[in-house]
Amino acid sequence: MRINMPEAVSMIIKRLLDAGYEAYSVGGCVRDALLSRVPYDWDITTSATPDKVKEIFHRTVDTGIKHGTVTVLVRSESFEVTTYRVDGKYLDGRHPESVSFTRSLTEDLLRRDFTINAMAYNDESGLVDPYGGERDLAARIIRCVGDPVARFGEDALRMLRAIRFAACLSFTIEDATMAAIKELAASISAVSAERICAELCKLLTSDRPELISLLYDTGLSEYVMPQLNGVFEGSLKNDMLAALSRSKPDKVVRWSILTHFTGSAREIMRSLKFDNKTTDAVCMLTARSDASYISISRADLKRDMAVLGTELLPAWFDYLDALHGEGFSASLREESSDIIEKGECFLMSRLAVTGKDVLGLGCPAGILVGKVLGEVLDKVIEDPSLNDREKLLPLTKKILSSVI
C-alpha cells in the first residue's frame, strides 16, 4: 500500500523521523487518498511534543498548542502537526476537560471519531489501521471507533459528522452507530449553532443532499431544524428530496430549496447563525419560487434582476429548475442574457439622469429624490428607449411635479 503524499508532507514527516520521532499523515487525508479523492488538507500526527516540533521547524504558528497542534509553514502552505494525544473526560458533551500526550499512535487513533478517519500512513510503516478503517472504506460504512453511545456521549457533534460523511462519501451508517445517534439525538443541543451550520452546509452541498432525511430518521432534526419535521410528516417530503437531488451543489440554491419547503427561511438561517449575505440571498430566492415566473414579462424580469443583482441570477434559475423541472428557466435565462447584452437599464445607478439632475429640477433634498428616480426607472424598465438624457429630463420633470 502506497499513498502519494504532497512533497511538503513527506518532507515534514521525514524531518520528524530523522529527529528520532514517529510521524504520519492521519485522518481525513488518508481516508480521501485511499478513496482516490483529493484531500482537502493533510494533517500530520507525531510522537514529538509541540516544543520539539517548534525546535525542528523554523516557521511555525501556535494554532492550538494547548491541544498539541502546531502549524508548520512550508513556502506558502501550512500543515497542522499534532502530538499523539488522548482526550480527557468530556464534561459538556463537546470538549474534553483536558488532553494529555501519549507515546502511542494506536491510542491517538482511538480518540478519533470513525474507523475511516482513524488511519495513519507514512512511507516507512505503510498504513496503520488498528480499527478496521480500510475494511469499512471498502464496505462504504460509517462506524464509530469503539462504543458509539460512549463516543457520541463525549462529543455530540460526531452525530452530525456521521450523517455528513454518509452524504459526502455516499456511505451508509452502521446499525449500532445509527442506533446510538437515535438514542442521543437530544444531546446535539450542546453543540454551537455555528458548528451545526457548518456540518449542515457540507451535508446539503454534498452529492447526496437527499440524505438530509437522516436528520429526521435519527431525531436530530427536532433539535437542529424543527421546521424540517413538518415537511417529513407532510405530503411534500418526496418533492423536497427530489428537488434537492436534482439541484446544483450550491449552498444558496440548496438552502433555498430546503427552506422553500420548510417555510421560515429567515428564521432558520438566523438560528443557524448564517451570515447576512447568505441569509438575504436565500430569502430573495424563496420569495421568487412560483411556476408563473415562466410567463413573466420582460419588464418584470428586469425588476427582479434589479433586486437580485446579476450575481444571484444563475442561482435563482438553478433554484427554479430544481423546483419546476430541468429547463424550466431556459427562456428566463435567455431573456436575462439578452437584457444584459443589450445594456437595458434596470438599475437606478444606470439611469441617464442622476440625483443631481432631480435636485437641479427643484426637488427638495431627501427621500423624495429616490422616489422620483424610482418612478423614472420604472418607466425606463417598461421602455428602454427612454434612457436618454434628452428624453429623460422632461419626463423626470413631469414625474417630479406629480409628486410634490
Is position 40 an interface residue for ligand ATP (rule: CB under 6 A)?
A: yes
Q: Residue 155: which of ligand ATP, Mg ion, none does it interact with, CB under 5 to 8 A by kind?
A: ligand ATP
Closest listed residue to residue 244, CA positions, set 232, 233, 253, 235: 253
DSSP characters for 295-327? G--HHHHHHHHHHHHHHHHHHHHHHHHHHH-TT
Contact range with Mg ion by CB under 5 A, out of 27-35, 79-87, 146-154, 370-378: 27-35
- How many binding residues for Mg ion (CB under 5 A)? 1
User: How far apart (Å, rounded) are the C-alpha atoms in residues 60 and 54?
Assistant: 6
Q: What single DSSP character describes residue 234?
A: S
Please say whether the beta carbons of 11 and 72 come within 8 A. no
Q: Grid coordinates 496503520 are at which residue?
A: 128
28 near Mg ion, rule: CB under 5 A:
yes
Structural element, H or E, at residue 82? strand 77-83
Give least dist CB 353 to ligand ATP, A.
Answer: 52
Query: Phi/psi of residue 45, each to 5°?
Result: -120, 145
Beta-carbon count within 10 A of 342 CB: 8
The yes or no reply on residue 112 touching ligand ATP (CB under 6 A) is yes
Run of H or E residues at 64: strand 60-64
Closer residue to ligand ATP (CB): 54 or 112: 112
From the list Mg ion, ligand ATP, none, pick the one residue 173 interacts with, judged by a Cβ distance below 5 to 8 Å according to partner type.
none
Minimum Å distance from CB 41 to ligand ATP? 6
* Near ligand ATP by CB under 6 A: residue from 3, 53, 108, 113: 113
157 touches ligand ATP by CB under 6 A: yes
Residue type (1 letter), 343: G
Shorter beta-carbon distance to ligand ATP: residue 35 or 359: 35
Closest-CB residue for ligand ATP? 28
> Rule CB under 6 A: is residue 199 a binding residue for ligand ATP?
no
Start-to-end C-alpha separation, the chain: 81
Cβ atoms < 10 Å from Cβ of 291: 11
Size of the site for ligand ATP (CB under 6 A): 11
Contact between 117 and Mg ion (CB under 5 A)?
no
Binding flag, residue 28, ligand ATP (CB under 6 A): yes
Nearer to ligand ATP, 114 or 261 (CB): 114
Alpha carbon separation from 206 to 209, 248, 283 (Å, rounded): 6, 10, 22
157 binds, among Mg ion, ligand ATP, none (CB under 5 to 8 A by kind): ligand ATP
Name the grid cell of 187.
Answer: 444531546
Sign of CA dihedral 188, 276, 166, 137: negative
User: Which of ligand ATP, Mg ion, none binds 96 (CB below 5-8 Å, type-dependent)?
Assistant: none
Instruction: Say whether residue 105 binds ligand ATP (CB under 6 A).
Output: no
Phi, then psi, of 78 in degrees rounded to 5: -130, 145
Stretch that binds ligand ATP, among 49-57, 70-78, 150-158, 186-194 (CB under 6 A): 150-158
Pairing of strands 172-173, 141-142: parallel
Closer to ligand ATP by CB, 158 or 302: give it.
158
Q: How far is the CB of 112 from ligand ATP (least distance, A)?
A: 3
Query: Which residues would be at the binding site for Mg ion (CB under 5 A)?
Result: 28
Query: Which residues would be at the binding site for ligand ATP (CB under 6 A)?
Result: 27-28, 40, 43, 112-113, 117-118, 155, 157-158
